[in-house]
Amino acid sequence: MAGSRAAIRYAKAVLSLASDRKSADAVNADMKLIANTIAQSKDLSEALQSPVISPAVKKSVLLEVFKKSDKTTLSLIDILISNNRIAILGGVAVKYNQLFDQSNGIELATVTTAIPLTDDLKKKVLAKAKQLTGKDIEVESIVDESILGGFILRIGDIQYNASISNQLGKLKREFSLN
């Protein structure tokens, strides 16, 4: 919990600094890259968490991996290293992306389907979600075969469950009541 709160504070500070420097878009792209890289690389994630690896080694690895990043992003890495908080870099990146999207009126829609979304279907979901919320929407697609078919759409606090497993569950409850 404390790491999460710290990640939010650092993300807010970086967003404010990036906005002042007119580099918020570039830093957002860097943060997406950092979040995805840390999430996908078990070795990098473990290295950042490891108390055995020195901060100097962590810093050199991060600067090599993200050498094309904006100077604000590189400053964040320096500050996290000097404050012994580099383990929360992935969390800061995720929170930054969320705060950036909120400040630009972009809402994240999560669509869970049994099979991967086609580009055509993704466009239809984007259009419908934008119509429902009135905001720009960014779609994240999740494949979960357990829903059998249909989809589950989540936008903020709103969830629309049109999955077959949900409909079967409703039928089961109706029959058990009788």
69 close to 30: Cβ distance less than 8 angstroms: yes
Mean pLDDT of 8-36: 95
pLDDT of residue 89: 95
Residue 160 clears pLDDT 90, i.e. is over it: no
For residue 75, give the 3-state DSSP assignment. helix
Q: All domains of the chain, ordered by start, with CATH?
A: 2-102 (1.10.520.20), 106-177 (no CATH)
pLDDT of residue 46: 94
**Is pLDDT larger for residue 93 or for residue 165?**
93
What does the alpha-carbon distance between residue 132 and residue 171 come to, in Å, rounded to a whole number? 28
Report percent pLDDT > 70 for the chain: 98
What does the alpha-carbon distance between residue 87 and residue 94 come to, in Å, rounded to a whole number? 13
